[in-house]
Amino acid sequence: MKRFDVLGVPIAATDYDRTVDRFAEWLADGHRTYVTVTGVHGVMESQRDPELLAIHRRAGLCVPDGMPMVWLGKAGGHAIERVYGPDLMVEVCRRSLETGWTHYFYGGKDGVPERLRDALCARFPGLRVVGTHSPPFRPLDATEEAALAAEIEALAPDFLWVGLSTPKQERWMAAHVGRLRAGVMLGVGAAFDLNAGLLRRSPRWMQRIGMEWFFRLCVEPRRLWRRYLGNNPRFILSIAGQWLGLRRRASGRRPVESG
């Protein structure tokens, strides 16, 4: 699958069908990996944290969750569409009715993964959800880690959905890939609350024009104002700098040095 560079993060040039097809290939081969659902927030957090950038670069896929990723991909000539975390979860669940894939939901506040399970099972009768867990707001201690590992070992889910928000969920997946008996781990953040019916979705027209962030800011201003009002302008400036550098290299020109 082709990828393109967004400030060092390798974004996959993909769509829902190709993404789920890749998951099917991994599961058929017994390949265990993790997937980041990456938008502006994840990219900008990676600029501040080299370890997080390395985690994105080691992922099986970084799918384009956000219209800026899609616009940049199309500008580079790629066939791409947005792979929105909540809708990706729905598409995988839909395919699971044909394949029998199993699911485990890890994340969210108390009761949220259970509400998510119930909502998805009501939407997709026959969906196989083998477990749920709402972790504490702190790292698991050794006893809790052992209990989780034992549970995952026994259940062996094909998909382990992680809803801890960025960058916590990316760190968690990178630390546990290969240690837990799960096929594909996916960090999907707010998809837990959205698909459980606990958060309102932005209108589709706002998603298409890249204004979902504004809707979410209006819904959760106290939690998200720093993220969007800080990250978005820095992202635009950083992308402008990246494109300017690419154009200079393509033309053979070097930046003018002062001094």
Asked if the structure places residue 131 within a domain, the reply is yes
Are 116 and 192 spatial neighbours (Cβ–Cβ below 8 Å)? yes
Other beta carbons within 10 Å of 75 = 10
Asked if the structure places residue 207 within a domain, the reply is yes
Closest CA relative to residue 55, chosen from 192, 176, 229: 176
Asked if the structure places residue 144 within a domain, the reply is yes
pLDDT of residue 255: 41
Asked if the structure places residue 49 within a domain, the reply is yes
pLDDT tens per residue across all 259 residues of the chain: 899 999 999 999 999 999 999 999 999 999 999 999 999 999 999 999 999 999 999 999 999 998 999 999 999 999 999 999 999 999 999 999 999 999 999 999 999 999 999 999 999 999 999 999 998 888 888 899 899 999 999 999 999 999 998 999 999 999 999 899 999 999 998 899 999 999 878 778 778 877 777 777 777 777 766 776 777 788 888 888 877 766 556 555 544 333 3
Q: Which segments of the chain are extended strands (E)?
A: 3-6, 9-12, 33-38, 61-64, 102-107, 128-133, 159-163, 184-187
In the numeric block, the tokens 């370890």 are attached to 51
Closest CA relative to residue 192, chosen from 120, 100, 138: 120
Asked if the structure places residue 19 within a domain, the reply is yes
- Identity (one letter) of the amino acid at 146? A
pLDDT of residue 81: 96
Packed helices 168-176 and 50-58: angle between N→C axes, nearest 10 degrees: 60
Asked if the structure places residue 255 within a domain, the reply is no
Number of domains in the chain: 1
Distance CA 65, CA 56 (A): 13
pLDDT of residue 10: 97
Handedness of CA 133, 134, 138, 144 (dihedral sign): negative
Token pair recorded at residue 245: 């550098």
pLDDT of residue 61: 97
pLDDT of residue 218: 77
pLDDT of residue 207: 81
Asked if the structure places residue 48 within a domain, the reply is yes
Distance CA 211, CA 29 (A): 39
Other beta carbons within 10 Å of 203 = 11
Beta partners for 128?
102
Residues with Cβ within 8 Å of 160's Cβ and at least 6 positions away in sequence, in order, are 103, 104, 106, 152, 180, 182, 183, 184, 185, 186
Token pair recorded at residue 84: 């929105």
Region class of 197: left (phi > 0), else alpha (psi between -120 and 50), else beta? left
Q: What domain range includes position 69?
A: 3-246
Asked if the structure places residue 251 within a domain, the reply is no
* Torsion of the alpha carbons at 13, 166, 179 and 49, rounded to the nearest 10: 90
